[in-house]
Structure 1
Amino acid sequence: MRWSIALLAVALVACTPSPVLPTGGVDASDLDGDGACQAAPAQTLLHQAASDELAEAILKASGARTLRWGGPDTVFTMDYREDRVNVIYDADGTITRITCG
C-alpha cells in the first residue's frame, strides 16, 4: 500500500506542467533617452518570476533598448552592447541576475 501511494505521488509530480519561461529577446523601440543600460535600478526586480510582463518593467527600470533572457546553462555571445540588459533566471524561473551588456 505504501509503495502504491509513493508511486502515485511520483506520477503526479511528473505530470505537473512546467512553467513556460521566456527565451530570446525583447526590444523597446519607443524608449526615451539614449538607451544606455543602467542595471542598478532594475535590481529591485530580482527574485521574481521571469515573465514577459516583467521584461517590460526591467526595460523601463534599466533604460535599455533590448533585453536578453538567459536560463540555466544558457550560453551567451561575448559581444558587449551598452543598450542591452541581460536577465538570468534559474531552473524554477526565478530571476537571479540582471546585468548590462
Structure 2
Amino acid sequence: MPLKLMSLSALLAVATLAGCSSATTGSTSDPVATDTGHSRCEAKAAEFTIGKQASPELLEQARTRAGAQNARFIQPNDMVTLEYRSDRLNLNTDANRVVTRVNCG
C-alpha cells in the first residue's frame, strides 16, 4: 500500500509540474494574446494607413497587420465609448476620411 501511495504522489507531482511548464514556439512578431484569448493590437504595424483614404479593404488590411480582433474608423465628430479594448484598432480620420492617426483601444 505505501508503494502505491508513493507512486500516486509522484505521478501527481509530475502532472502538476508539467502544467506549469511553458514552451515558446511563436516568433516575436506574433500578436500577443490577452487574458481573454484575443490578440492584443499593435498600432505601429498599421501606421502604413496614415495619409490613405478610408475604405473597408484598408481597414481589414490594417486590422490583420496589427493583429487586432476588431477595427474601426473614427471620424472627427463620431461619438465613441470610453472603454479600452487592447484587441481593437482605431483609425482616426479627418473630415475627408483620410487616416490621420492610428491607435489601439
RMSD between superposed Cα atoms in Å? 1.4
Structure 1 residue 84 and structure 2 residue 85: aligned? no
Deviation of the 1:66 alpha carbon: 0.3
- Larger RCO, structure (CA 8 Å, separation 6 or more): 1
Number of corresponding residues: 70
Q: Secondary structure at the match of 1:68?
A: strand
Q: Secondary structure at the match of 1:99?
A: strand
- Return the alpha-carbon distance in structure 1 between the equivalents of residues 92 and 75 of structure 2: 6
Structure 1 residue 46 and structure 2 residue 50: aligned? yes
Pairing partner for 1:56 from 49, 60, 66? 60
Q: TM-score, normalised by structure 2?
A: 0.62
Instruction: Write 1 or 2 for the structure with the bigger share of helix.
Output: 2
- Match of 1:96, as an amino acid? T
Q: Percent identity?
A: 36
Q: Deviations over 1:68-95 (max 9, x none)?
A: 2211211211100010011111111100
- Match of 2:76, as an amino acid? P
Q: Secondary structure at the match of 1:93?
A: coil
- Return the alpha-carbon distance in structure 2 between the equivalents of residues 50 and 43 of structure 1: 13
- Match of 2:97, as an amino acid? G
Contact 2:59 2:72 in 1 (8 A): no
Q: TM-score, normalised by structure 1?
A: 0.64
Deviation of the 1:49 alpha carbon: 0.3
- Return the alpha-carbon distance in structure 1 between the equivalents of residues 66 and 51 of structure 2: 16
Task: State the 4+ residue runs in structure 1 displaced beyond 4 angstroms.
Answer: none
- Return the alpha-carbon distance in structure 2 between the equivalents of residues 98 and 84 of structure 1: 11
Unpaired stretches in structure 2, ≥5 consecutive residues: 1-29, 34-38
- Match of 1:46, as an amino acid? I
